[in-house]
Amino acid sequence: MTELPSRRLLLVHAHPDDESINNGATMARYAAEGAHVTLVTCTLGERGEVIPPELAHLTGAALGRHRRHELTAAMAELGVRDFRLLGGAGRYSDSGMMGLPDNDDPGCFWQADVDEAAAHLVEVIREVRPQVLVTYDDQGGYGHPDHIQAHRVAMRAVELSADAGVPIPKVYWNRVPRPVVEESFARLREDLPGTPFAKAAEVDDVPGVVPAERITTVVDGTAHAAAKAAAMRAHATQITVAEPYFVLSNELAQPILTTEYYELVRGERGERGSGEAETDLFAGVGEDS
């Protein structure tokens, strides 16, 4: 077996495109620095809303296959070679938005047994032995059932892998500090007439917004802004990009954040001054971890 790099990062996301929006700059930065970056995507997003009219015919399994190709293209832009589907392709399907009949589909991720799904993730953890895991908070950032389930599965896998003798030293949740988002949206409102977008989203439309004091870690990915934008653009069924902004299917413009923010929820913060945020997800993690 090939020896793994000394730094190993695992990200757990619900659908193709979530990784590029939330963590694209972080993934590109650590991949460029030689860390082993592993992405586990839990579904193929078969129930996503398609933006381009020329692709509107894609639904169900056909959309899932197309989005898998988009994911491959996005990972090429970020320099990430290790990306997988939880339990293999087609194991869990998209659950649709909360409260829809889609949630009751027995094959959807929302209906998955958490321990069973977590066991698939533990297999990945045993193989790559990550020191850092990144996923959503317990509300999935914005309440989508697949995001909530990805959180549950990831956190359960952390417990199970520790019981199996493969602990993960640091676990983070995706976050965005409210002051940063408010400032970014103020710029967006000024710039909006010069963009192809008609209307801006609101601050509370952004997943994972929290007070600034909740932020423990700030990853500066500005050197990888172009890679993040390119990865988002690769998810063409779901995202329209006009740097430094983008829209989803709701056509409401949002800023592309290239500094990305996290809350450490398990593990010890790296050594920094009192009240000072970490600038590295691996801060304080020894190479022998």
Q: How confident is the model at residue 275 (pLDDT cuts 50, 70, 90)?
A: confident
Please check the confidence at residue 81 and state whether its pLDDT lies above 60: yes
Inform me whether the pLDDT recorded for 75 exceeds 60: yes
pLDDT band with cut points at 50, 70 and 90 for residue 288: low
Give tens-digit pLDDT for 179-207.
Answer: 999 999 999 999 999 999 999 999 999 99
Percent of the residues in the chain that have a pLDDT greater than 90, as a whole number: 94
pLDDT bracket for residue 274 (50, 70, 90):
low
**15 annotated as a binding-site residue:** yes
Percent above pLDDT 70 for the chain: 98
Does the annotation list 147 as a binding residue?
yes
Looking at residue 287, its pLDDT comes to 58
- Write out pLDDT tens, residues 122-152: 999 999 999 999 999 999 999 999 999 999 9
pLDDT at 56: 96
**pLDDT average, residue stretch 214-218:** 97
| pLDDT surpasses 80 at 1 | no
Using CA atoms, how far residue 117 sits from 120, 126, 276, in Å, is 5, 15, 36
Give 273's pLDDT tier (boundaries 50, 70, 90): low
Positive or negative torsion for Cα 174, 179, 183, 186: positive
Per residue in 9-50, pLDDT (tens digit) is 999 999 999 999 999 999 999 999 999 999 999 999 999 999
pLDDT of residue 276: 87
**DSSP codes joined into one string, 195-253:** SS-SEE--GGGSTTEE-GGG--EEEE-GGGHHHHHHHHHH-TTT-EEETTEEE-TT-EE
50-59, 177-186, 196-205, 269-278: least confident range: 269-278
Tokens 């199970």 — which residue? 160
Q: Which residues contact 242 (CB under 8 A, 6 or more apart)?
A: 195, 196, 197
- To the nearest whole number, what is the mean pLDDT of the chain? 96
Whether residue 252 is predicted with pLDDT greater than 90 in this model: the reply is: yes
137 annotated to bind ligand: no
pLDDT at 35: 98
> Is 39:14 a contact under the CB 8 Å cutoff?
no
